[in-house]
Amino acid sequence: MTRVLLVDDQALVRSGFSLILSVEDDLEVVGEAGDGAAAIELTRELRPDIVLMDVQMPVMDGIEATRRIVAEGLAKVLVLTTFDHDEYVFDGLAAGASGFLLKNSDAEHLVEAVRTVAAGHALLAPQITRRVIEQMVAGERTPSGTVGGTRTAHEPAPAGFAHLTPREREVLELVGTGLSNAEIASSLFLGEATVKTHVSNLLSKLHLRDRVQAVVLAHRAGLV
């Protein structure tokens, strides 16, 4: 059972999310909060697995709440908003969010997003992933929140990079381009389960939290 805390300043939105998630046998809505400060307190108290977090809220916004929840290791956060502005994407990733989904996604995608993040995978809407990669390549802004000029040098590869197998490095390069496991499997003529294993292994060897961090590393190391 995956325990979910809903955070949104609109009661009707929370009610809608609750109806969608509560009918699923493996999902349980354990609480609701109307602002970021209340979300932190309830996360500490209820210990949900996933916090479904709005961005624009009174008292404390969802980005700051996400940063504090992740820093304390309280739960994984799935940011859900009506806005797909770049600043929300980058700030959310920098705060440690494991997923970013637009509110106009249908019920099926919302449920699948919660399950994906609960399973330990990162999730970004495809259009958001492409924009993150494009701007990283352009050097306009990095997921660490730094805005500035184009980078001219790549960062040194992490120590664990030397322990990657040739196939794991190849998979990492494709992850860095924003491909899904299914797309990587098709590209390399492998089974999807095999690709999942390679991704899991490379994340472990590189001490990365999730797929988003793998995308960042692939670009910073000059693999893409």
- What domains can you pick out in the chain, each with its CATH number? 2-129 (3.40.50.2300), 153-220 (1.10.10.10)
Q: How far is the C-alpha of 74 from the C-alpha of 44, rounded, in Å?
A: 7
> 73: which residues sit within 8 A by CB, 6+ positions away?
none
Give the mean pLDDT of 58-79.
Answer: 93
Higher pLDDT: 86 or 80? It is 80
Q: How many residues does the chain have?
A: 224
> 23: which residues sit within 8 A by CB, 6+ positions away?
none
pLDDT > 90 fraction of the chain, expressed in percent and rounded: 46
Q: Is the pTM of this model over 0.75?
A: no
Query: pLDDT, tens digit, for every residue of 195-220?
Result: 999 999 998 898 887 777 787 788 77
- Residue 147 β-bridge partners: 141
- Tokens found for residue 92: 């959310």
Give the mean pLDDT of 83-97.
Answer: 72
Q: How far is the C-alpha of 67 from the C-alpha of 77, rounded, in Å?
A: 9
Confidence of residue 119 (pLDDT cuts 50, 70, 90): confident
Confidence of residue 125 (pLDDT cuts 50, 70, 90): low
CB-facing half-sphere around the CA of 131: CA atoms within 13 A: 13
